[in-house]
Structures are given as structure tokens and as C-alpha cells.
Amino acid sequence: MSNADLLPSLLFKINQNQLALEVAIMELTNWVGQRGSGDVAENVRGALEVITRDEEFINMTLAVLMAPE
């Protein structure tokens, strides 16, 4: 397997890790928000929107990269 063949799998794993971190951070954000730090929670949610916004593009790109030729 060449290095170029490994790239799609690597990007897929990085994306999976990113999504797992997003979920973990959102759990902590909800916890912070429930304890009265609503401003902090909203700031974090705003930052996490970048992940959500880019997710569709990342998934489409990974599908193209991983498609058999």
C-alpha cells in the first residue's frame, strides 16, 4: 500500500476524532451552561458550529477519496 493510499484512511480517522471531540466538548458545554455560565456555553457552541458547518464537505471529500477507481 502506497502512502497515497493511506491518505483517505488517515483523513477519515482524523475526521472521526474531530467529531468525537465535538461531542465531548458539547457535553462539557451543556454542563457548564447548566451551572450558570450561559455566556461561556454560547461562545463554545458558536465555535463548534465550524465543525458542523464543514462536516458535509469533509464527508463528501472523503467519499470521493475512498471511492474505488
Alpha-carbon distance of 30 to 59, in angstroms, equals 26
Instruction: State the pLDDT at residue 24.
Output: 96
pLDDT in tens, 30-65: 999 999 998 999 999 999 999 889 988 988 888 888
The reported pTM is 0.75
pLDDT in tens, 3-27: 777 888 888 899 999 999 999 999 9
> How far is the CA of 4 from the CAs of 8, 42, 66, in angstroms?
8, 40, 11
